[in-house]
Each structure stands twice: as C-alpha cells, then as structure tokens.
Structure 1
Amino acid sequence: MKGHCILSHGFESGPDATKVTALAQAAEACGWTHERPDFTGYDAKRDISPLGDVDARLAHLLALAQAAAQKGPVVLAGSSLGAYISGHTSLKVPVKGLYLMAPPISLNDEHPLRAAEVPTAIIHGWHDELIPATDVIEWAKARNDSLLLVNDSHRLSDHVDTTRMQFQHFLERL
C-alpha cells in the first residue's frame, strides 16, 4: 500500500458521485487505498446554514483522516465543499497532498479556505458559476500550487476523465 486517499464529495452530491468515483479509480490504479465518506446527512441540515452542517462535515473528515494517518500516508481530495473541508482538515492532520476540484475560496465571504503547505493540485472551470476562476487563480498563485483551468462549469462534468488522469498523475508524483 502506498497510502490512503479520502475522497470527499461536494454539497448536494454523494459518495457515488461521478468525480469521486473517477478519483477512486485513479487511486486504485496507483496502488492507493481509498474511502468516500457520505456527508449527505449533513447537507440536509439547511436549518443550520444554507450549506448544511459544515462543522459536522469537518469533524467527520477529521476523525477519518486522523485514523488513516495512524496507518500511513494520507491524501485528501475533494470537490467544492469537499475541497473546502479537505483543505481545513489538512491543517490538523499530517497529509502527503491535497487534490482540490472547484474549491470555494471562502464560504459566504466570511470563512476563507485554508490549507496546509503540502503538494496541492487544483482543477477548476473557467466558467464556474459559483466560484470565480480569478479567485482560485489568486489563491493558488499565493501558495504556488499546481492549477489546471478547463473550459467547464462548477460541476466539471465535461472533464471527468481529465480529473481522473490529473489525480492519477498527482499520486504518481508523490
């Protein structure tokens, strides 16, 4: 085993979503184990915030990452809100790398995305209707992260294969 990947889906998505399924295939191809936590119960709690229970998502991912880190190297990957919680979790658990798809640079303009200074690759759509590409460019530039911008929207649905191949390449370089 080379390590373990925790693949976090986005808001109003699920653990069997297309992108995290593609990442799981890439992890397997590289000899990494993986898991895809289910955060759908937290997403339904809109009485807490429009994005559901973000704190509960963070606590769930943190517990999984802490347990995985006891066994070996960990990579956190996530899409949208899953990218946000992956970044924040990386500050509390030693991770080997981060792979972020359509990462929100802040939640409600109040809670900025933070992440450990570890190898990080980002894929983002030029035409993301929720998170401006220029915000992601500035965030990635300040950290010297790898960034791939594609002709797509927030869902990156036209670039699932690109996402899988980029993640596989990312794992192979770690």
Structure 2
Amino acid sequence: MNLVENLVVFAHGKESGPWGTKITHLAETARGRGFEVMSPDYSHTHDPRERVAQLLALAPTAKRLVLVGSSMGGYVSAQACATLKPQALFLMAPALYFTGWDEEPQGVPALCSVVHGWHDDIVPMERGLRFAKSNHATLHVLNSDHGLNDQLAALALLFGDFLDQVKTEIL
C-alpha cells in the first residue's frame, strides 16, 4: 500500500458533526492544495478521551499529516500529537484546559496555528492564547464567536496559507 502524500484529518466539536459548515469549507481549501481529507464522526460520544482513542485507532498516516480540530476536536487533535506525530496542527477555538481534561498536550509539532474568536463564550480566548504561548504557535484572533462560522473566508485564507507552509517547509 502506498503512503498518502498529503492528508488533513479533521476533528469536529462536541455538538457538531464531521461535515459541518466549517469543516466542509476548509476541506475544499485542503483539496484545492492537493491534500486528501478525512473527517471521522465522533458524535456517538461526548467524552473527549474516547474521541482521542477513536482517532488513535484510525492511525492516519501520510508523508505530510495535518491534524485540524475545532473546539473539543481541538483537544482531540492536540492530544493525538504525541502518538500520531503530525507534521502540522491547526486548531480553531480549541477546548483545552477544562477541569477533568486539562492535561498539557505533548508532541505538538513546530508548525502549529491557533485561531480563536474574541467573543467566544464557550472556550475563553485566553485558553487558545495559553496553548499558543506554551507551544510557540501562531495565534490569530478574529472578531467572532466560538463557531467562527461568520469568518469562513478568513479561515480559508489562514488555512490555505498554513497548508502552503506545510508543503514548502516539511518533508
């Protein structure tokens, strides 16, 4: 079996699904840049650790593996880094540092970006800032809420630039 060249693996949030508005939009961006996409369905559980275990069981691999997570999916993607060893990590309003699932992610790749909304009333923007600071990640703060759905064009630009960086800097 041939190893996939470029793969983006999305992890959706607690209340959304694998092909919601944001993931569908960003998947188009990824495909347009030569990446295959995968978006597992985690909606059968609200337990973030079960979601991490599901992603690890899928064991996605590629020459260039990019994990992308939104909200609880941000936690899932970040926590999977130690095992999956992606080349890059892109998080949107990552649900990190909540009581009971507040461990610091390990193995975060050097190429890492966080996008958060100033008006996020679900995951405080300070959590995205904390993660970005701890991991020397690029941080983008948009004039938006938790869903970031009113910023799809900006997200696509940021994500497209991020994927361009993945393709030019890593291999």
1:46 is matched with none
2:50 is matched with 56
User: Could you tell me how far 1:105 is from its partner in structure 2?
Assistant: 2.3
Q: 1:9 aligns with which of 8, 12, 15?
A: 12
User: Could you tell me how far 1:33 is from its partner in structure 2?
Assistant: 0.3
1:49 is matched with none
Alignment CA distance shift 1:53-1:132 (3 Å): closer
Q: 1:157 aligns with which of 149, 155, 165?
A: 149
Counterpart contact for 1:86–1:98, Cα < 8 Å:
yes
2:24 is matched with 21
SS in 1 for 2:74: helix
User: Could you tell me how far 1:55 is from its partner in structure 2?
Assistant: 2.3
Q: 2:135 aligns with which of 134, 137, 143?
A: 143
Q: CA RMSD of the aligned region, Å?
A: 1.6
SS in 2 for 1:112: coil
Q: 1:73 aligns with which of 47, 64, 75?
A: 64
Counterpart contact for 2:97–2:127, Cα < 8 Å:
no
Which region of structure 1 is more displaced relative to structure 2, 106-115 or 130-139?
106-115
SS in 2 for 1:107: coil
Alignment CA distance shift 1:110-1:28 (3 Å): closer
1:168 is matched with 160
- 2:119 aligned with 1:116, yes or no? no
Q: How many residues align?
A: 162
Give me the whole-angstrom Cα distance separating, in 2, the residues matched to 1:54 and 1:110.
8
Give me the whole-angstrom Cα distance separating, in 1, the residues matched to 2:127 and 2:78.
16
Residues 32-63 of structure 1: CA deviation (Å, up to 9, x unaligned): 10111111111xxxxxxxxx222221111112
The one-letter amino acid of 1:84's match is: Y
The one-letter amino acid of 2:105's match is: R
Q: Structure 1 length as normaliser, TM-score?
A: 0.86
User: Could you tell me how far 1:111 is from its partner in structure 2?
Assistant: 1.9
2:76 is matched with 85
Residues 58-111 of structure 1: CA deviation (Å, up to 9, x unaligned): 1111122x2x22x43211001000010000001111211000000122122652
The one-letter amino acid of 1:137's match is: L
Q: 2:119 aligns with which of 103, 121, 127?
A: 127
Give me the whole-angstrom Cα distance separating, in 1, the residues matched to 2:39 and 2:104.
21
2:41 is matched with 38
